[in-house]
Amino acid sequence: MSKEKKDKIEENNIENTPEQETEEEMLEAEQPEVATIEDEMTELNDRLLRLAAEYDNYRKRTEREKQASISYGISGTVETLLPAFDVLEKAASADCTDPEYKKGVEMTVELFRAAFAMLGVTEIEAEGKLFDPELHSAASREAKEGVESETVVTVLQKGYKLGDRVIRHAVVTVAE
């Protein structure tokens, strides 16, 4: 063996100085603390991520509930106004000797239609369409030549919906 190798081996076998021993002891003592701190950090990070996800779910749920409340409010209000609107539409389509009066009624009907449109309320298309129990309410059936069975022949009362929610079904006559 060479002298250099022997010297290196001897250097490694030399006992550590008291300063080196205390540093090593401190490092060994800190290792469990570091592991504990890292575990706590991981746990806190997981809790933070869960809390952030819960908050995001809460925010989305409250927004959906808010929109549903608004939608129910609009539906209820429109449902209350529809009988008056029906009467105005009948008045607008009736014969009248006073053109100014008829014009005023027609303008009022248009104001209702514009307000309904702003709220997102749409009329349910019925006449000439296939009967859909989700949208239509059949008041009667009649035999009609040249018309496919289950087709809406006559609309007795218009139906309205808000988005996908039906406010009032269209009352119709259906071909047999």
pTM of the full structure: 0.66
Spell out the per-residue pLDDT of the chain, length 176, in tens: 555 655 555 555 555 555 555 666 666 666 777 788 889 999 999 999 999 999 999 999 999 999 999 999 999 999 999 999 999 999 999 998 899 999 999 999 999 999 999 999 999 999 989 999 999 999 999 988 888 889 999 999 999 999 889 999 999 999 98
**Which of 3.30.70.980, 1.10.3720.10, 2.30.300.10, 2.30.22.10 is the CATH number of 123-176?**
2.30.22.10
Residue with tokens 């250097």: 11
Can you give the residue ranges of every domain in the chain? 123-176
Query: CB of 166 within 8 A of CB of 124?
Result: yes
User: What is the bridge-based pairing of β-strands 170-175 and 152-157?
Assistant: antiparallel
Query: CB of 155 within 8 A of CB of 139?
Result: no
